Amino acid sequence: MSSILTLAILPLIGALLVAVLPNENVLRIKQAALGTTVLTALFGIFIATKFVSSDTTFQFTQKLEWIPSFSINFALGVDGLALVLILMSVVLVPIVLLAGWHESEGGRWSAKVFYILILVLETMMIGVFAATDLFLFYVIFEAMLIPVYFLIGGYGSGERAAAAVKFLIYSLFGGLLMLASIIGLYVISNNAGHATFDITELSQLHTVMSSSTQNLLFLGFFIAFAIKAPLWPLHTWLPDAAKAATPGTSVLLLGVLDKVGTFGMIRFCITIFPDASKTFTPVIIVLSVISIIYGAFLAIRARDLKRLIAYTSISHFGFITMGIFAMTTQGQSGATFYMFNHGFSTAALFIVGGWMISRRGSSTIADFGGLQRITPVMAWMFFIAGMSSLALPGLSSFVSEFLVLVGTYTRYPVAAVIATIGIVLAALYILIPVQKVLHGPTTAGNEDLPDLNLREKIAIAPVIAVIVAFGFYPSPLLNIINPTSAHVIHDAGFTDPAPTEIAGK
Amino acid sequence: MNTSTSLVYLIALPLAGAAALLLGGRRTDKWGHLLATALSASSFAVGLYQLSAMLGRSTEQRAVTQKLFSWIAVGNFNIDAALLLDQLSICFVLLITGVGTLIHIYSISYMEHDENRRRFFAYLNLFIAAMLLLVLGNSYLNLYVGWEGVGLASYLLIGFWNQKPAYATASKKAFIMNRVGDMGLSFAIMIAFATLGTTTFAGIAEVAPQASKAALTAIGIMLLVAATGKSAQFPLQAWLGDAMAGPTPVSALIHAATMVTAGVYLIVRSHFIFDLAPTAQLLVVIVGAITLLLGALIGTAKDDIKKALAASTMSQIGYMVLGAGLGPAGYAFAIMHLLTHGFFKASMFLGAGSVMHGMNDEVNMRKFGNLRKFMPITFVTFALGYLAIIGVPPFAGFYSKDAIIETAFNAGGVKGVILGSVALLGAAITAFYMSRVMILTFTSKARWDDDAHPHESPALMWIPIAILAVGSVASGFLFTRGHALVNWLTPVVGEHTGEHEELLAPIVVSGLALLAVVIGVAIAVIKYQLAEVENVAPENVSGLTRFVRKDLGQDALNEALFMRPGIVLTEVAEQLDVKVIDGAVCGVANMAIGSGSTLRRTQTGFARSYAAFILIGAVALIAGIWVVTQ
Amino acid sequence: MNPNNYLYVASLLFTIGAVGVVVRRNAIVVFMCVELMLNAANLAFVTFSRINGNLDGQVTAFFTMVVAACEVVVGLAIIVTIYRSRRSASVDDASLLKR
């Protein structure tokens, strides 16, 4: 059994463990769930240390026959891209559990169900990034909707049912288009003489596809991923879902699940359909730039803390897709690193925001005021999270954002220039709520808010540590990411533009 | 190039201080300020050590580098975390750590009664570290980290008393306007990488001659945008006045002596680009000339002592930018003015803080007067700074400002005449408004509030002021002795070649400058010393005065050009999102629901209607088949 | 005689039955119309059997008769039950299929 399979199964074992524990002993259930996820995280980090970054093929592979008549395999394996995202996922889950220690209470179902859903979701998160069989990917891609649907609908707040349905239908619609493309791809591979769902083999297929076929199949995949990511104008499910979900679920939703979209763009759209990617790149770059500016505008206007964070994410996902489709190594590596960083900076924002909301009993920004004097530690954490969101140099998000901008500039200067305006807008959408929430005189209703307790400090500390540490020293992750990015760009038939003014350098 | 292993300590020491004080929390309240001061001082000591080591090497061996680690390396975008200390940066290092340490000492006493003094010192240390990174980075991206780091520190310090909404707004305004400038720096780096393939100073200096003028001009203009943001130059100058919301030591350190001069540093550091891009260089002098007049004019109408000094800072930095825009002839003088300005402006700001300290934190100069009797040391030190800034020989400002005016006149042709005249006019206005500050505060009749009990500040406050005052007396003379600073900087910024014909002899320029100063001082004496001064600003003034009082409409302009359209845009975006995009999504959903409920009406529940449907369906099917098969 | 004539009769009977099912309200009449349609189908089957010269159609006709017999049993039972509970044999009185 390869270590990735072990990693994926660990949370599932935890889920079984939680399932057999008695319903009444909520504390024991929580401990079991947390223990499992911590163990998974440690094992994930251990695997990362064993990863050979110079090797661009899939590592830790595992292949079991699943449906042989359709040559479907249960195949797992990771490259740099997948490993970084898996790392992010397994580290975030225990943090989310610890930060939202009481989120499981007061839902429609028992705490036990909550933890089983989270643990099953974690297995799927690992599986979706590690799948090297397209069919397996698709199955997990769709199956992930189920636990999230129940987490939003069962444990959220406000119009949780409507938000959950909106999320589900949006995603299913995208999944349907992707299914059509997958079947098309399978048929083409069959006609080419060798029916397969294997990603590596499928990536050779573009030589036998006509450009119109490629374009259509590409669109099927891309729309599914653009909904997931979400890219303007397919984003409207996100603010509603983030508003209704518990902060922890929002972290997993925005931090991890949405990354499946951008992950898929690299893994499938670019790798399997390089020519179609080339055709659609201008359109996608434009949509990304619109996302960046548009999400920022909405965030500046936002009156609700959770919606604000969701809007900032739309802007950030614009940066990620722009980096991906800039088709330069800087853009590609920057986008991958951005996915990782966005996971942590959004986690910080949602976790701290969630604490503030649960203390104050409201998520309206105007209800807060002067928290810096009342809850200094919480205020600091919110501030640092905000700084990370606006990509302050010295924090990890700066490295990725700048890589994306530089990588885009070398090929699409105008897009990069417009996107850079986003950094001024980011200052606005972070500092306006920071001022309203943290600064000024303490307003009524905020005088007695308690500051962070030890559990909360322990939960947020690793997030802040990651944000700061990789800002100063991103090399360990960049070393994992770079070979994969270079490989993707090279296989798609692109080379980095050379400096225009320097001859023969 | 020589390498050094100790450069990193310059930055690491104050950074460690900031980290210790912020992470240590209230536990460090008792001794935090001492630790911060000690670390700042030790960073100064490292700086002195580096200077002595540098002096011990021959001219071309003086620059040293230290590579810490590979920071970002993707494809051919390779950025090392590396430091560069050369003749230019050592000037800044000593200014930052020296003035910084003095201001730390001053703040121990000034902030004694503030319960968050520890946090204040943490921010100060953070600022010192970031500012040092700014001047020590060996590439534009390293500089960028320091560039935004000082912006963050400035934001935190301006908003140190952010429980007051106006102060919180001021800090936000400063950060955002700075970010607009930072955007320029981002562009510059992107263009540099795309066209030249590198972002290090050395790398760009090497390949710049091969590059086209268009690319270099683009980089130069973007660097200028960055400089205008950080150095409060036109058109991004509006934040500096509001930034006076921060505690006075902050205004002295960040918004007078060091951070706001970073723009000048950037331009001088990028001399290899500007020297080859005359258009960008022309823009630099235009910005400098506009700002030096703009700041001086704003300074004439301010009653708030700190805001008057802030306007003066803006104007003086205008001089530096002007100098830096004049090419190799002006770089060294820009830096010289920057250093002398660091001394005299810091000393005056601290003096202003001392006055506020003795006057219940009053800042309105119309409520001061005759303070020389009560605060003799503050008066003397402030007066020394005053004489330096208006450019009276032999004080520091005379040497540096005179040199810039002279170089401006010698820029050649109409350009030289215009620039020189503007600089002269600025000198006259400077003399006027600084004399106004001096007279209103120290020499005119007392106009205090009833509860004011002016008293001299404690030694911990006046000693740093005194040291800076000595600097403002002597530094100019020392820098110009045997062209010491010019020669010192020549290996970095290049030699001034191709003599322009001197438009006016140096002695004539000095005479004209002194004449301008005398006129300015005279007007101020007549208006404020000899006449009666109201303790509230008169209302029946000309429209022009009112316009100047409103900072020449800078805020109104920004509001009309950016803020209001911005708000409208965000509103449009919100409506678009709710009505159009989400409207379309919900529309599809509603259409499905609607068609469902329409079809539902056919389900009556009556067996006969179902039978009828079956019949109709069957007939239609048969008919269809019949048609198709025919 | 031309076997097509039997088919015409069968379709005539079927149409009468179908129209009867749709337009009549009385459950018993509707029921009889259903039987009429079944027998029309039977007639068609037998005719086809004759035309094609094999027994398949006749076998099917027997099946249909058996099914029809079962249907009569069940159907009448339902009608009687409905009549008992509602005192009416009109099909339009009951729209139970809707809920």
User: Looking at the DSSP assignment, which residues form a beta bridge with residue B612?
Assistant: none
Helical packing angle, A26-50 and A80-99, nearest 10°: 160
Q: How far apart are CA B48 and CA A289, in angstroms?
A: 49
Percentage of chain C beyond pLDDT 70 is: 93
Which residues have CB under 8 Å from A42's CB, separation 6+? none
Q: Which residue has the tokens 């090419």?
A: B327
- Which subunits count as partners of chain C given 3+ CB pairs below 8 Å? B
Q: Phi and psi of B77, rounded to 5°?
A: -95, 95
Model pLDDT for residues B45-94, shown as the tens digit of each residue: 999 998 888 888 888 888 888 888 888 888 888 888 889 988 888 989 99
Q: With 50 as the cut, is the pLDDT of residue B304 above it?
A: yes
What tokens were used for A321? 């897709």
Query: What DSSP string describes B306-359?
Result: HHHHHHHHHHHHHHHHHHHHTTHHHHHHHHHHHHHHHHHHHHHHHHHHHHHHHT
Calculate the alpha carbon distances from B588 to A164, A169, B578, B601 in Å.
Answer: 17, 11, 14, 21
- B596 burial via Cβ count (<10 Å: 0-12, 13-18, 19+): exposed
Chain C residues inside the 8 Å CB shell of B608: 21-23, 25, 30, 91-92
Of B178, B138, B136, which Cα lies nearest the Cα of B155? B178
Are B608 and C92 inside 8 Å of each other by CB?
Answer: yes
* Residue from B602, B603, B608 whose CB has the most chain C CBs within 10 Å, to mutate: B608
Rounded mean pLDDT, A377-402: 91
Chain C residues inside the 8 Å CB shell of B603: 97-98
Calculate the alpha carbon distances from B315 to B231, B439, C95 in Å.
Answer: 10, 20, 90
Q: Is C touching A (3+ C-beta pairs, cut-off 8 A)?
A: no
Q: Which residue has the tokens 């997990």?
A: A140
3-state SS, residue A323: helix
Which residues have CB under 8 Å from A154's CB, separation 6+? A107, A108, A109, A113, A114, A160
Inter-chain CB pairs, A–B, below 8 Å: 167
Range C4-41 burial, b when 16+ CB lie within 10 A, else e? eebeeebeebbeebbebbbebeebeebbebbebbbbbb
Percentage of chain B beyond pLDDT 90 is: 15
Model pLDDT for residues B152-199, shown as the tens digit of each residue: 999 999 888 888 888 888 888 889 889 988 999 999 999 998 888 888
Contact B512, B424 (CB under 8 A): yes
Quick one: how many helices (H) and strands (E) in chain A? Answer: 22, 2
* Residue from A439, A470, A472, A478 whose CB has the most chain B CBs within 10 Å, to mutate: A439
Chain A residues inside the 8 Å CB shell of B277: none
Are B611 and C98 inside 8 Å of each other by CB?
Answer: no
Helix, strand, coil content of chain B in percent (nearest 5): 75, 5, 20
Q: How far apart are CA B304 and CA B310, in angstroms?
A: 10
Chain B residues inside the 8 Å CB shell of C94: 607
Q: Specify the pairing of strand B2-3 against strand B64-74.
A: parallel
Chain B residues inside the 8 Å CB shell of C18: 611, 615
Amino acid identity for residue B152 in this structure: L
For every residue of A120-187, which 3-state class applies, written as one string? HHHHHHHHHHHECEHHHHHHHHHHCHHHHHHHHHHHCCCCHHHHHHHHHHHHHHHHHHHHHHHHHHHH
Q: How far apart are CA C97 and CA B533, in angstroms?
A: 97
- Contacts with A, B 368-397, CB within 8 Å: none
Rounded mean pLDDT, B230-246: 85
3-state SS, residue C37: helix
What's the confidence (pLDDT) of residue C36? 92
Q: Which of residues A344 and C86 earns the better pLDDT score?
A: A344
B69, B197, B581 member nearest A499 (Cβ): B197
Band of pLDDT at residue B255, cut at 50, 70 and 90: confident
Which residues have CB under 8 Å from B487's CB, separation 6+? none
What's the confidence (pLDDT) of residue B243? 84
End-to-end CA distance of chain B: 93
Model pLDDT for residues A66-97, shown as the tens digit of each residue: 888 888 888 888 888 899 999 999 999 999 98
Of B323, B290, B341, which Cα lies nearest the Cα of B404? B323
HSE at residue B398, side-chain half, CA atoms within 13 A, is: 19
What's the confidence (pLDDT) of residue B393? 80
Interface of B with C (CB under 8 A): 603-608, 610-612, 615
Find the radius of gyration of the CA atoms of chain B: 31
Q: How far apart are CA A344 and CA A303, in angstroms?
A: 23
Q: With 50 as the cut, is the pLDDT of residue A505 above it?
A: no
3-state SS, residue A287: helix
* Residue from A81, A368, A384, A406 whose CB has the most chain B CBs within 10 Å, to mutate: A406
Of C20, B623, B186, which Cα lies nearest the Cα of A423? B186
Contact A174, A167 (CB under 8 A): no
Q: How far apart are CA B228 and CA B423, in angstroms?
A: 19
Q: With 60 as the cut, is the pLDDT of residue B306 above it?
A: yes
A45 C-beta neighbours (distance < 10 Å), count: 12
- Which subunits count as partners of chain B given 3+ CB pairs below 8 Å? A, C
DSSP secondary structure letter of residue B112: T
Which residues have CB under 8 Å from C30's CB, separation 6+? B607, B608, C20, C21, C24, C91
Contact C37, C14 (CB under 8 A): yes
Q: How far apart are CA B261 and CA B92, in angstroms?
A: 10
Contact A324, A304 (CB under 8 A): no
C23, C97, C99 member nearest B607 (Cβ): C97
The ipTM is 0.89
* Residue from C19, C21, C28 whose CB has the most chain B CBs within 10 Å, to mutate: C21
Are B608 and C21 inside 8 Å of each other by CB?
Answer: yes
HSE at residue A337, side-chain half, CA atoms within 13 A, is: 38
Model pLDDT for residues B482-497, shown as the tens digit of each residue: 788 888 888 888 777 6
Q: How far apart are CA A354 and CA A248, in angstroms?
A: 8
User: Looking at the DSSP assignment, which residues form a beta bridge with residue C90?
Assistant: C26
| Averaged confidence pLDDT in chain B | 86
C21, C95, C98 member nearest B611 (Cβ): C21
Percentage of chain C beyond pLDDT 90 is: 41
Q: With 90 as the cut, is the pLDDT of residue B540 above it?
A: no
Q: How far apart are CA A198 and CA A75, in angstroms?
A: 8
Model pLDDT for residues A171-223, shown as the tens digit of each residue: 898 899 999 999 988 888 888 888 888 888 888 888 888 888 888 999 999 99
Q: Which of residues B609 and C54 earns the better pLDDT score?
A: C54
Amino acid identity for residue A402 in this structure: F
Q: With 70 as the cut, is the pLDDT of residue A503 above it?
A: no
Contact A41, A96 (CB under 8 A): no
Range A258-289 burial, b when 16+ CB lie within 10 A, else e? bbbbbbbbbbbbbbbbbbbbbebbeebbbbbb
| Averaged confidence pLDDT in chain A | 88
Band of pLDDT at residue B500, cut at 50, 70 and 90: low
